[in-house]
DNA sequence: TTGTGTATATTCACTGGTTAGTATACATAC
DNA sequence: GTATGTATACTAACCAGTGAATATACACAA
């Protein structure tokens, strides 16, 4: 069945995502991914030129859905700016209590491949975090924050710190601590003079 | 030369540390560690019962020196509480600009071995971070912070967030952003009523 | 409608290399 | 002569990537 190429590729990425996220990049062999996708390794190598390519596709597939989720949590939360940001941490805490949760796939991949600085997957991870940071910066700017970039980076640090710490201790309550810290930083930033939102 | 057993073991841990930190746990083979230590794999297995055991020893050896470094940076800094905490971030930023820097070995190991929750190395990493948190908590309590544990965890989140973000973007300036956030959180905590230090 | 060429998609079987861990023997010190 | 420590040589499994062959769908010609 030559024609339906796209579903095959998507199925491989889906299988790779589950395995790479759950077990780690180097722990998972290309054979395992192919088996999980229900095809042979040779077929996988028809769609992806190397394992590194597959790893990059795994993270690329997570980029937009992840960002959309954060934006949804923010948009659907009641209250002011800090309450909306806190909603992200609260929802993340709920996710983190799920037994299959294993931290942030982007950060874990960058940690595992730290010896390969230019790796395509790391570039995709960096771009993903930059997009999140930029969305935060724009949002803060709309809300009249004086230095929106600085605040966006501070929140990002708390967020990624949460991922790391909660993964290490398996204690999601750190996300609520991060949430409180975020509120303090946002309120402090709002107290300083800045442009009002339009 | 049977007698000098301790130097041999220490040499193995030293070789393992350099390789595991620079290349990652699963990337480095036991043969490589043995070769770097200048002995055979069989000798290594005389001193360590498994690779997991060796990984745990790698992190255990980093525990005390790492904590001592943080305490030194804090103690030798001029100024008040927030200035002393900021000194940790500033010194870390300097370390992070070194080309061989590759983040926090404890966090990277926990990320790489996230599929093995009870792994001895992860337990050692968790204990290490708890010790740091506890030292911060005690220090903040001495300085009259009303909720020293909460502030300690907030600072820890910024610190570990810095490790993750700086590793991903290879941009140490995030550590200075974290430093500013830490100052805001500390000043906010100090502004609330609490016991004075003795 | 039927035959045929071609790009697409898939499989089997394989290579060369690596890996954690071990069986066995040997050496040195006390 | 026995504990301790080191080395040689091995196993059995795994792993990223490839060579060669094959199957299907579709375009186009007869």
CA R_g for chain A: 19
pLDDT digits (tens, 9 = 90+) for A18-28: 999 999 999 99
Shared domain check, A71 and A169: yes
DSSP-derived letter for residue B50 is S
- Indicate the number of domains in chain A: 2
Write out chain B residues lying below 8 Å of A164, CB-based: 107, 110-111, 160-161, 163-164
Within 13 Å and on the Cβ side, how many CA atoms surround B169? Answer: 20
A57 CA → D18 C1’, Å: 22
> What whole-number percentage of chain A has pLDDT above 70?
94
Across the interface, of B114, B156, B174, the residue whose CB is closest to A167 is B114
CATH at residue A20? 1.10.10.60
> What whole-number percentage of chain B has pLDDT above 70?
94
Shared domain check, A90 and A15: no
Which residues are within 8 A (CB) of B19 and not within 5 positions of it... i.e. 6 or more apart? Answer: B28, B32, B33, B36
CATH at residue B108? 1.10.357.10
pLDDT digits (tens, 9 = 90+) for B81-109: 999 999 999 999 999 999 999 999 999 99
CB contact under 8 A, B154 and A180: yes
Write out chain A residues lying below 8 Å of B99, CB-based: none
Does the C-beta of B8 come within 7 A of strand D? yes
A145 CA → C17 C1’, Å: 57
Q: List the structure tokens of A17.
A: 């995502």
Residue A39 structural domain: 1-48
Shared domain check, B128 and B104: yes
pLDDT digits (tens, 9 = 90+) for B125-177: 999 999 999 999 999 999 999 999 999 999 999 999 999 999 999 999 999 99
Shared domain check, A165 and A92: yes
Q: Which of A108, A161, A165, A168 is nearest to B24 (CA)?
A: A108
Q: Is A90 inside any structural domain?
A: yes
Shared domain check, A139 and A79: yes
Nucleotides of C under 7 A from a protein CB: 7-13, 18-24, 27-30
Q: Is A54 inside any structural domain?
A: no
Distance of alpha carbon A122 from alpha carbon A132, whole angstroms? 15
The count of CB pairs under 8 A between chains A and B is: 145
Shared domain check, B164 and B84: yes
User: How far lies A20's CA from each of A17, A103, A142, A170, B37, in Å?
Assistant: 5, 12, 37, 19, 32
Q: Is A198 inside any structural domain?
A: no
Q: Is A24 inside any structural domain?
A: yes
pLDDT reported for residue A192: 79
Write out chain B residues lying below 8 Å of A150, CB-based: 177, 180
Does the C-beta of A95 come within 7 A of strand D? no
CA angle A37, B26, A10 (to 5 degrees): 20
Within 13 Å and on the Cβ side, how many CA atoms surround B4? Answer: 5
A82 in contact with B, Cβ within 8 Å: no
Q: Is B154 inside any structural domain?
A: yes
> What whole-number percentage of chain B has pLDDT above 90?
92
């Amino acid at each position: 069945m030559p024609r339906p190429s796209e579903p095959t590729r998507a199925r491989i990425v889906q299988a790779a995502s589950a395995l790479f996220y759950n077990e780690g990049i180097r722990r998972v062999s290309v054979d395992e991914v192919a088996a999980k996708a229900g095809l042979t390794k040779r077929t996988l190598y028809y769609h992806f030129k190397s394992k590194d390519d597959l790893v990059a596709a795994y993270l690329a597939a997570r980029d937009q859905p992840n960002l959309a989720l954060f934006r949804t949590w923010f948009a659907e939360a009641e209250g002011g700016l800090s309450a909306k940001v806190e909603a992200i941490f609260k929802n993340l805490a709920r996710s983190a209590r799920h037994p299959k949760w294993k931290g942030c796939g982007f950060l874990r991949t960058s940690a595992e491949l730290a010896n390969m600085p230019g790796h395509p997957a790391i570039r995709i991870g960096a771009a993903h975090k930059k997009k999140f940071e930029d969305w935060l910066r724009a949002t803060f700017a709309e809300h009249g924050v004086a230095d929106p970039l600085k605040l966006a980076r501070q929140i990002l640090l708390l967020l990624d710190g949460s991922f790391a710490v909660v993964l290490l201790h398996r204690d999601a309550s750190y996300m609520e601590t991060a949430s409180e810290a975020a509120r303090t930083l946002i309120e402090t930033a709002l107290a300083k003079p800045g442009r009002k939102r339009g």
